[in-house]
Each structure stands twice: as C-alpha cells, then as structure tokens.
Homo-oligomer: A and B are copies of this chain.
Amino acid sequence: METNPCNNNVNGKSAIPSKVSRKPSQKDTIVNINGVLVGGAEIVVIAGPCAVESREQLFETARSVKAHGAGILRGGAFKPRSSPYNFQGLGEEGLKLLSIISKEIGLPVVTEVMDTRQVEMVASYADMIQIGSRNMQNYPLLKEAGMCKKPVLLKRGMMATIDEFLLAAEYILNQGNDQVILCERGIRTFETSTRNTLDLSAVPMLKRLSHLPVIVDPSHGTGLRWMVPSMSKAAIAVGADGLIMEVHYKPEEAICDGYQSLNLDEFRLLMAGLNKIAKAVGRGISTLKAAHI
C-alpha cells in the first residue's frame, strides 16, 4: 500500500510543530490568568455555568464555586449551538455580567470567542479567552487569538488528532502568544452511551510532546452529571494540570447542558474527593483563600 502523504503525521519531519514542542529538558510553561497559575504544582479547577443567563444565576454560582475551591470562573456569552433555533447566548450583555461578577467575587474569568471580529471585545472583558472545539481549526480565529494579549484556552476538536491539536496551538504561539492552555474535552467515537469519549491518554501524550499546560473537561467529555466526579479524579491521577467543568446553581432550570452540570452541593463534594487524589500524585488543589462574601 502506498504511503498516504495527506496525513499530517507528527512522525513525519515536516509536520512537527516547533514552538509548542517540548525541547529536551524544557520546563513546563506556566500560564498566568490574572494571578492564577496553571501548569505548576497546583491543580486549578475552572467552574461555572454553561451559559450566562442572569445576574443571580451567575453570582450565586460563582460565589459558591469560589467558596469550595474553584480558581477560575467560566461562563458562556456567545454559545456555539448545533441549531440556529437554540439559545445563542446573551452576547456582550453576558460579557459585562461576567466581568462585573468576576471582580465582585474575586475570580478570574474565561469565556468563549467565536468570531474574529469579536476577539478584541471579548478579551477586554475576560481574563482568558476560549477557542472551542468546533473552532479548533478556525485558523483566522487562532491567529487573532495569537495577537491578543490574553491567555488562550484551546479545546481539542472532537475529531482532531493529537498532532492537529498541537498544530492548532502552533498557530497561536506563532503570533507571539505563548500563554496557551490545551484542553481535552472528549473525542467522537462509535460509542453513544456517553456524549463523547474522554481521551485521558491525551493528557500524558500532550505533556510529553509539548511544554504547555493540559486540562480536562469532564462535563462535555461525558455529557453525564453523575460521571463527572469519577472522571475528574481520573484526570488528576493521569496528570492533568486542571479541570474545567459546568456547575449551575439550579441545573434543572439551566437553559443549556443542565444534564451535565453539577449543582453546588455536588461540586462541594467533588472538590473534597479531588484533593485526596491530587495529594496522592504529589500535587494540591490551587485554592484562592475563600473570600468572605
């Protein structure tokens, strides 16, 4: 059989990314999200609702996740939805709420950007911008993110190989921005009992090939609320530098992803369990001292 020259295989010389690759004995890159460090000894948990819905929803959720050890707040203002008839997010109004509550609670905030025309605006409200799974190979967006001054959370495409994922990150670094966090969030397989198949082997593989921090999203990776705690533990055991998960103060009323969002109590219990695993692998959970709210 002929070798297929189309496969951008990292075994092949030409396809090897360069700036994202770990050079011999190169140290881990640490990404600084407004004072919270990802990629060092401490594990960081990013938590919050799928979408920003209201001031109350965001405030109550943010206050609680901070109290229980989250280091960064997440929340979507622009939502990539399969159907044009689904809720598309609050847009700039959502960004404003994120910015205000982030400061009130004292948690840096990450939110997704989908359009090259909005990178600057989103970056002005957020402490870190996210490029979602569906946009992992949206090259103009990657370049724009590479030119912005904020850290970037890059999610693996649901059909992306490890090499393609690293090459997507290379687009960002190549513009001069090396503050990039890689996020495994599940790949698409034949299995339908889970929303995606969370590929935890991607964590040690990415850590070996690259110097960038790697985190895991067990909410999208499984699509099942009850499975988030066990997969979170596995992610830390395998060497992830952090987690990003959906938490909602009233999951049963959530506009989107309620079935995969933890409620506040479930989040509290999870964090206690995670700390034990983190210690077992010689790390800890990075927790900003809980503010007295």
User: Which of A134, A171, A194, A222 has the most chain B CB within a 10 Å cutoff?
Assistant: A134
Task: Give the docked Cα–Cα distance between A200 and B200 (Å).
Answer: 8
CB neighbors of B among A213-268 (8 A): 221-224, 226-227, 230-231, 233-239, 257, 259-260
A195 neighbours in B (Cβ, 8 Å) = 4, 6-7
Instruction: Report which of B10, B82, B138 forms a contact with A193, defined as CB distance below 8 A.
Output: B10
Whose C-beta in chain B lies nearest to the C-beta of A80? Answer: B139
Judge whether B82 and A260 touch: CB under 8 Å: no
Judge whether A137 and B134 touch: CB under 8 Å: yes
A199 neighbours in B (Cβ, 8 Å) = 189, 191, 197
Judge whether B187 and A191 touch: CB under 8 Å: yes
Instruction: Indicate whether A183 reaches chain B with its CB closer than 8 angstroms.
Output: no
Q: From residue A238, how far is it (CB to closest CB) to chain B in Å?
A: 4
Task: Give the docked Cα–Cα distance between A135 and B215 (Å).
Answer: 24
Instruction: Indicate whether A94 reaches chain B with its CB closer than 8 angstroms.
Output: no
CB neighbors of B among A152-196 (8 A): 157-159, 161-164, 167-168, 170-171, 174, 187-195
Instruction: Indicate whether A81 reaches chain B with its CB closer than 8 angstroms.
Output: yes
Judge whether A114 and B139 touch: CB under 8 Å: yes
Judge whether B224 and A234 touch: CB under 8 Å: no
CB neighbors of B among A107-141 (8 A): 114-117, 134-135, 137-140
A26 neighbours in B (Cβ, 8 Å) = none
CB neighbors of B among A1-46 (8 A): 1-11, 15, 17-18
Instruction: Indicate whether A205 reaches chain B with its CB closer than 8 angstroms.
Output: yes
Task: Give the docked Cα–Cα distance between A202 and B158 (Å).
Answer: 18
Whose C-beta in chain B lies nearest to the C-beta of A1? Answer: B10
Instruction: Indicate whether A105 reaches chain B with its CB closer than 8 angstroms.
Output: no
Q: From residue A93, how far is it (CB to closest CB) to chain B in Å?
A: 17
Instruction: Indicate whether A103 reaches chain B with its CB closer than 8 angstroms.
Output: no
Instruction: Indicate whether A209 reaches chain B with its CB closer than 8 angstroms.
Output: yes
Judge whether A192 and B7 touch: CB under 8 Å: yes
Judge whether B238 and A222 touch: CB under 8 Å: no
Task: Give the docked Cα–Cα distance between A174 and B279 (Å).
Answer: 44
Q: From residue A261, how far is it (CB to closest CB) to chain B in Å?
A: 12
Instruction: Report which of B1, B163, B189, B234 forms a contact with A197, defined as CB distance below 8 A.
Output: B189
Q: Which residues of A contact B (CB under 8 A)?
A: 1-11, 15, 17-18, 80-85, 114-117, 134-135, 137-140, 143, 157-159, 161-164, 167-168, 170-171, 174, 187-195, 197-205, 208-209, 221-224, 226-227, 230-231, 233-239, 257, 259-260, 276-277, 279-281
19 CB-based A-B contacts, threshold 8 Å: A3-B11, A8-B82, A10-B193, A18-B85, A80-B139, A82-B168, A84-B174, A134-B138, A162-B191, A189-B199, A191-B202, A193-B205, A197-B201, A198-B201, A201-B231, A230-B239, A234-B237, A237-B238, A237-B277
